Amino acid sequence: MSLQPDLPEEVVALAATAEAAPRLSRRSFRQRAWRELKHAPITAWIGLLVVTIYVICAMFAPLIAPYSETALVGDAYEPWSDQFLLGTDQLGRDMLSRLIFGARNTVGIAFLTTIFAFLIGGTLGLLSATLGGWTDQILGRAVDVLMAIPQLIFALVLLSIVGTSIVNLIVIIAVLDSTRVYRLSRAVAMNVVVLDFVEAAKLQGEKLGWIISREVLPNILPPLVAEFGLRFCFVFLTISALSFLGLGIQPPLADWGSMVHDNATLINYGDITPLLPAGAIALLTVGVNFIVDWFLHKASGLKE
């Protein structure tokens, strides 16, 4: 990836700048963003729309949802009606409300986990690349071992030891997932730390923290941002799978994975309600993937 090492701000906005690079500095960020959006493919628009809807649902869940997420408001498995738009679940809680609150719980926890994974993996990866030597060797081998075990399987082992709770879930998945972030951030940072301006900063006597955060990090942001999207999808699917297996987010919190599991019986009678939370998971993942595809396409446009 050919980056401009001396222009960190430009690189940060790289997604939005690929085609009109020289004139960019005169446009405001908003103008640039709008310009790019106008030329974005339809799939990127769908992705952005989906993500926006989910974010609104997550932020304003108590305002949008007709009932509380835990209140028993009717009989079990009531059909769709004016009172309960999507019917009720196995305990008589409103399906629609739980679906909306699920956006907050499921997506929120996955988002938080991904952030932790990036903080751990990104920091260690950058340290590894900048320091090299023993630090790099030890971290690298540790990550190799962690990655030799399938992630879901390892998560199951750890959960059986420390027990299932939201904090344990976040920590375990974040640590296991940070191995992938470590690999990527180390690999891309390796290309940057050998450049002259990093050497110059080292000779100038800058501290490690400065070199990592001001010299290296801005130049590897685009691939990391794309990876964040993909990692989020992966974490989101893993947490949903664990919740579906009854080992993730615990009741009474509304969560899409466990909602599918708890109401699965209805599917055998031809009722599609339990598929809605599963579909909500799939839709968000597809949406994020569409955005990442577009972003990667834009970012790689610099190569040509």
Partner 1 sequence: MNAILKTVLQRLALGFVTLFVVSALISTSVELLPGDFAKEILGQAATPDTVKAFEKQVGLDRSPVTRYFSWIGGVLQGDFGTSYVAREGYTRTVVSLIVPRLMNTLFLAAMTAIIAVPLALILGMLAALYRNTIFDRLINVTTLTAISSPEFFIAYILVLFLVARAHLFPALSTVDEDTTFVERIYRCTLPALTLLMVIVAHMMRMTRAAIINLLASPYIEMSRLKGISPRRIILHHALPNAWAPIANVIAVNLAYLIVGVVVVEVVFVYPGIGQLMVDAVSKRDLPVVQSCALVFAATYILLNLAADIVAIVTNPRLLHPR
Residues that bind partner 1 (CB under 8 A): 43, 144-145, 148-154, 156-163, 233, 237, 240-241, 244-247, 257, 260-261, 264, 267-270, 272, 274-275, 278-279, 281-282, 285-286, 289-290, 293
Minimum distance of partner 1 from residue 154's CB (angstroms): 7
The smaller minimum CB distance to partner 1, of residues 73 and 147, is found at 147
Minimum distance of partner 1 from residue 254's CB (angstroms): 17
Q: What is the Cα 41 distance to its own chain's centre?
A: 22
Minimum distance of partner 1 from residue 121's CB (angstroms): 19
In the Cβ-directed half-sphere of 54, how many Cα atoms lie within 13 Å? 25
**Buried b or exposed e, range 175-209, using 16+ CB within 10 angstroms:** bbbbbbbbbbbbebbbebbeeeebeebeeeeeeee
Minimum distance of partner 1 from residue 97's CB (angstroms): 21
The smaller minimum CB distance to partner 1, of residues 78 and 293, is found at 293
The smaller minimum CB distance to partner 1, of residues 126 and 155, is found at 155
Q: Helix 108-131 and helix 166-193: axis angle, to 10°?
A: 40
The smaller minimum CB distance to partner 1, of residues 7 and 171, is found at 171
The smaller minimum CB distance to partner 1, of residues 122 and 287, is found at 287
In angstroms, the CA 12 to CA 17 distance is 10
In angstroms, the CA 66 to CA 58 distance is 14
Q: What is the Cα 61 distance to its own chain's centre?
A: 20
Minimum distance of partner 1 from residue 58's CB (angstroms): 19
